[in-house]
Every structure is written in structure tokens, then in C-alpha cells.
């Protein structure tokens, strides 16, 4: 139900954006987040829910690595 998946914004216009998921394209509403082409975003129920932050993914990697140091 709370299914959401990351894709990349291809284009934006007037309240919606075309988001690409490895070649599958969905038009998603952008009223909850300001987005620009190239942004990696999370889409839920036809709506952009959040921008994914690459540097945070790096942080996740560090966090995950830190878990190794017991």
C-alpha cells in the first residue's frame, strides 16, 4: 500500500512531472515537492513524495559501514 519507488525527473510542467523508472515513464503530481529535471524522486500513488538525496545515500553507506565496527 505504501509502495513508493525512486525514479528520475525527465521534465516538469504546471504541477506535474514526467518521472522515469529504467524506461517506464509516469506522470506524477509535484504539489508536495519542488522538483527539477534530473532530480531523483520517490513516487507514491501518482505523486512525488520526496526528493532522494544522493549525499544522504553516501551517508547511509557510511552508517552501514559504521555498523561493522563493533
Partner 1 sequence: MSDLDQTLAAVKARLKAYDGPRMRIMEVCGSHTSAIVKNGIPGLLSPKIELVAGPGCPVCVTPTDYIDRLIALSKEKDTCVVTFGDLLRVPGSSGTLMQAKTAGGRAAMVYSPFDTLALAKAEPETTFVFAAVGFETTAPVYALLLDQILKEQIPNIRFLTAVKTMPPVIDALCAGGADVQGFIAPGHVAVVIGADAFKPLAEKVQLPFGVAGFTGRHLLAAIDGIVRARGRGVVMNFYPEAVAQGGNAKAQALVAKYFEPGDALWRGMGVIPGSGYYLKAAYRRYDAGSRALQHDRPMNAACRCGEVLKGTISPKDCPLFKTACTPLHPQGACMVSAEGNCLSVYNEN
Partner 2 sequence: MEQRTITTEHGSGGAATSELIDGIFAKAFDNPVLAQMEDSAVVPGADEIAVTTDSFVVDPLFFKGGDIGRLAVCGTVNDLLMRGAVPKYLTCGFILETGLPLEDLEKIAESMAATAQEAGVTIVAGDTKVVEGRGGLYVNTAGVGFAPCSTIGARQIQPGDVIILSGNLGEHHAAILSERLSIDTDIQSDCAPLVDMVGALMAGTVAVHGMRDITRGGLGTILKEMAEASGLTFELEESRLPVTPKVRDFCSLLGLDPLYMGNEGKMAVMVPESDADEALRLIRMSAYGTHAAVVGRVCAGEPGEVMVKTAVGGQRRIDVLRGEGLPRIC
Site residues for partner 2 per CB under 8 A: 3, 5, 7, 21-27, 43, 46
The cell for 39 is: 532530480
Q: How far is the CB of 70 from partner 1 (least distance, A)?
A: 7
Nearer to partner 1, 1 or 22 (CB): 1
53 DSSP assignment: -
Q: Report CA-CA distances (Å) from 27 to 7, 11, 45.
A: 11, 10, 11
- What phi and psi, each to the nearest 5 degrees, are found at residue 53? -110, 115
**Which residues are near partner 1 by CB under 8 A?**
1-4, 6, 15, 29, 31-34, 42, 44-47, 49-50, 52-54, 56-57, 59-61, 63-65, 67-68, 70
Amino acid at each position: 500500500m505504501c509502495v513508493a519507488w525512486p525514479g528520475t525527473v525527465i521534465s516538469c510542467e504546471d504541477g506535474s512531472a514526467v518521472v522515469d523508472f529504467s524506461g517506464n515513464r509516469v506522470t506524477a503530481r509535484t504539489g508536495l515537492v519542488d522538483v527539477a529535471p534530473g532530480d531523483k524522486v520517490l513516487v507514491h500513488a501518482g505523486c512525488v513524495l520526496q526528493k532522494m538525496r544522493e549525499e544522504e545515500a553516501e551517508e547511509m553507506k557510511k552508517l552501514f559501514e559504521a555498523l561493522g565496527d563493533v
